[in-house]
Amino acid sequence: MDRFGRTLAGALVVTAMLALPATAQDDPAWSVGRWQGSLEGFTAAIGPERTMNIVAVTPDGAAQGTWYVSARQPASAQITVKGGAITVVPGAGGIAQLKRTGDDELVGSFTVASGRAFPVTMRRIKPSTEFDGVWSGTATPRPPDCLPGTYELTIKDSEITGMAEFLPRGEPARQSTVTGEIKPDKTAALRLTAKSPGSRTSRFSGAFAGNDFKAADGATSGRCSYDIWLRRK
């Protein structure tokens, strides 16, 4: 092949390479999904578990999503995806800097307002429909003179929402909103947030057995704890 031929061949190779589609690492859409992890060494009362849920991302890496304490109400965050890295600035403060180490794994750190950084590994959680449906049941108090309660929850794609009511005799029910999520080990993490005066705020986990869900909601600021038993309708 003469020099002209070699030059033309080289140009064609370069043109073909430029025409190839971007790799999965370059396409920010790889980041879409729900990710969970735990801040190593984080001991504050809100707990170390964090969830990031990216629902959409533009070609330039601007993502739409949330970052929040797991089992709490999702909160908006500024999320940017660049190559194999994700930067998250939650509305509540701090910054997470994460790098992709596998198809379903991110490794990095979360730096709080004081400047202290906590290592974190996050894994993509594939939504499950195994427990989808409406679940209802009772919260039996311990000791028995505490207020009895009822639960009505909806599970959809591993997300839990609903209401708990505690029932003083002759008075309106005391309500708590319930949020939560199904973990990869098929347990559920729940959080109660008091909606009315005198109701309950707590965090706990429970397990499924067929169409039954059982959990123990231990005493927090008061003396009352609860055995929870729900069934899928």
Q: Is residue 184 part of a domain?
A: yes
What is the predicted pLDDT for the residue at 25? 56
How far lies 118's CA from each of 42, 48, 54, 94, 122, in Å?
Answer: 7, 10, 21, 11, 13
CATH number at residue 97: 2.40.128.620
Q: What is the mean pLDDT of each run of 10 residues along the chain (233 residues)?
A: 48 39 70 95 91 95 94 89 97 95 96 96 91 97 93 94 94 93 89 91 93 92 90 96
Q: How far apart are CA 181 and CA 127, in angstroms?
A: 10
**CB-based contacts of 160, cutoff 8 Å, min separation 6:** 153, 154, 178, 179, 180, 181, 182, 188, 190
Residue 3: inside a domain, yes or no? no
- Does 14 reside within a domain? no
Pairing verdict, β 77-82 and 62-69: antiparallel
- Which of 94, 125, 156 terminates a domain? The answer is 125
In a domain, 17, yes or no: no
Q: What is the pLDDT of residue 174?
A: 95
Question: Does a structural domain hold residue 147?
Answer: yes
Helices (H), 116-227: none
Segments forming the whole domain that contains residue 29: 23-125
Same domain assignment for residues 68 and 85: yes
Q: Tell me how many domains the chain contains.
A: 2
End residue of a domain, out of 78, 97, 125: 125
| Same domain, yes or no: 137 and 197 | yes
With respect to residue 192, please indicate whether it lies within any of the assigned structural domains: yes
Amino acid (1-letter code) at residue 179: T
The H-or-E segment that residue 13 falls in is: helix 3-19
Residues 53 and 141 in one domain: no
pLDDT at 124: 94
148: domain CATH number is: 2.40.128
Specify the pLDDT at position 185. Answer: 86
Predicted local distance difference test score (pLDDT) of residue 13: 38
Contact between 229 and 140 under an 8 Å Cβ cutoff? The reply is yes
Taking the CB of residue 209, how many other CB atoms lie within 10 A of it? Answer: 7
